[in-house]
Structure 1
Amino acid sequence: MTSSSIYNCTVVHKRFIPKEHHFKYDVFALFLDLSELSNIEKNIHLFSYNKFNLISFHDSDHGPRDGSSVIDWVKKNLIENKIDTENIKIKLLCYPRIFGYVFNPLSVFYIYNADEKLISILYEVKNTFGEQHTYVFKIEGDENLLQHNCEKKFHVSPFIEMECKYFFRVLKPSEKISIIIDQYKKNEKLLYASQVGKKTELNNKELFKSYIKNPMMTFKIIIAIHFEAFKLWMKGIKFIKKKLKIKNNLTFEN
């Protein structure tokens, strides 16, 4: 038994201005205790760590994205934000590679202390230009529903301007997982995005079942992103040119 698991989820996006647009699709995400990756590889034949398999996880897909330790990267950034890293547990909600390919629009790191209390969340956001920005939040209190907000600092969609704010509503992972992001331009709601799912055990049987339901999931995600962008363009929504070129930024939020 491990503390890692699978979440079978539905992703929903709804755009409200200047024109309405929405889509939804089913996915499965892995909720990985990063200290268990080698053990998971030994016990789940379909899964490999830093090697090719039907389903795999690679350090180079997250954090510094240079193949070095994601755990060390998380600890370094927590220390810089004055968050205690002694005996912490780092869990990551992400899409795995399928047949060696993955694109994660959003990956979420959940950081727990030795008492299993959630003390920090890192939202790792990627765009299709090969860039990444991570928003780091410190968690205080013990509420089940976490709410926080920040200014948008990273160009994601070429159809949404930079002058926006994010409002996050996140349930602590349990039998259900829920991540909701509302994006506002000035005081007007522009976008609603959510990923909601149910937990199942991470083992050979359940991983294969999740794969069979979404056999080409990671390819579907990147195709869907471009297809939905084409539909936005067809609706006449303004194309926003990306002004900044970054590779891997990180900000500490209040």
Structure 2
Amino acid sequence: MKLNSAIYVGHVVHQRHRPKKHHLRYRVFSLLIDLDELPVLNDLKWFGHNRGALFSFRDADHGDGLPLRDWVNRQLASEGLGRAGRIRLLCYPRILGYVFNPLTVWFCDDAAGQPLATIYEVHNTFRERHSYVLPVGAEQAADKAFYVSPFIDMDCRYEFRLTPPGDKVRIAINETQDDQPLLYAAFTGDRHEMTNAMLMRLFVTHPLMTLKVTASIHFEALRLIAKGIRIRWHTDRKTQQHASPAQITEPQD
């Protein structure tokens, strides 16, 4: 049986434009998981759903404790959108039990299989999470509503650009401040079948990748400090679940 679920292998790129230029590029991979296929994926030797395995996916790493389909539909309803049919998410897996997902992207189709909405679920290093729920069909943009980086102010705006999962996937985010480019971030990956052989290959070629993600965040922070970028301390710690309609706005001319 050919699965909708897959593995995307590629690169994460960040390009900071100001006040000091800064560039990073790392080789990573992400899993595209169809929620309806989790029972089938759980039969793989090297992958586990809500259980220990070389690679695993745990429901508790996402959403708010509700069953994931219920959480997604509640997010959609909060923005006046209909219930989802097929739900897929692009994320890092746990590797040997550890994961940190800076961004999980949820692709939500309607009952007829047509794209309905995208949920951008953002995590920060304070174990907080926030979701931007954006309908498909218009330019996807939102005012920043959640503390992520200690080197970027809150008065910013995100513009999202997607190439939906196919032979390739691309997630690109342009962050602006005062209508000027501030940071460009993107993941581009090539599709591979999700098999035991591919999972073992990735364990060899990307050992402890999720630990490296966390280590790289701190390494790049040290580089920014060395360049003299001012730190913005996180003084209002609270978990927000989704952006309100007032925070999701169309781009201004």
Does the 8 A contact of 1:103 with 1:218 survive in 2?
A: yes
Amino acid at match of 2:40: N
Amino acid at match of 2:27: D
1:100 to 97, 100, 116: 97
Distance 1:116 1:210, change over 3 A: farther
**What SS does the aligned partner of 1:250 have?**
coil
User: Which residue number in structure 1 is paired with residue 241 of structure 2?
Assistant: 249
2:120 to 104, 111, 123: 123
Amino acid at match of 1:92: L
User: Which residue number in structure 1 is paired with residue 83 of structure 2?
Assistant: 85
TM-score (structure 1 length as normaliser): 0.93
CA distance in 1: counterparts of 2:221 and 2:165, whole angstroms: 31
Q: Report deviation, 1:210.
A: 2.1
CA distance in 1: counterparts of 2:194 and 2:110, whole angstroms: 23
Q: Report deviation, 1:120.
A: 0.4
Superposed counterparts of 1:1-254, under 5 Å: 1=1, 2-42=3-43, 44-64=44-64, 66=65, 68-85=66-83, 88-140=85-137, 147-252=139-244, 253-254=248-249
Q: Report deviation, 1:76.
A: 1.7
Task: Output one character per residue of 1:192-212: Cα deviation in whole Å (capped at 9) or x when no partner.
Answer: 100000111111112222222
- How many residue pairs were aligned? 245
Does the 8 A contact of 1:18 with 1:237 survive in 2?
A: yes
Amino acid at match of 1:243: T
- Bigger CA drift: 121-130 or 239-248? 239-248
CA distance in 2: counterparts of 1:239 and 1:81, whole angstroms: 34
Which consecutive segments of 4 or more residues in structure 1 shift more than 4 A?
Answer: none
Amino acid at match of 1:23: L
CA distance in 1: counterparts of 2:79 and 2:175, whole angstroms: 25
Amino acid at match of 2:106: F
CA distance in 1: counterparts of 2:68 and 2:240, whole angstroms: 13
Taking only the aligned residue pairs, the percentage that are identical comes to 40
TM-score (structure 2 length as normaliser): 0.93
Task: Output one character per residue of 1:11-46: Cα deviation in whole Å (capped at 9) or x when no partner.
Answer: 00011101011111011100000111121111x100
The gaps in structure 2 that reach 5 residues or longer are none
CA distance in 2: counterparts of 1:230 and 1:129, whole angstroms: 18
Q: Tell me how large the CA RMSD over aligned residues is.
A: 1.3
CA distance in 2: counterparts of 1:150 and 1:247, whole angstroms: 18
CA distance in 2: counterparts of 1:47 and 1:78, whole angstroms: 29
Q: Report deviation, 1:115.
A: 2.9
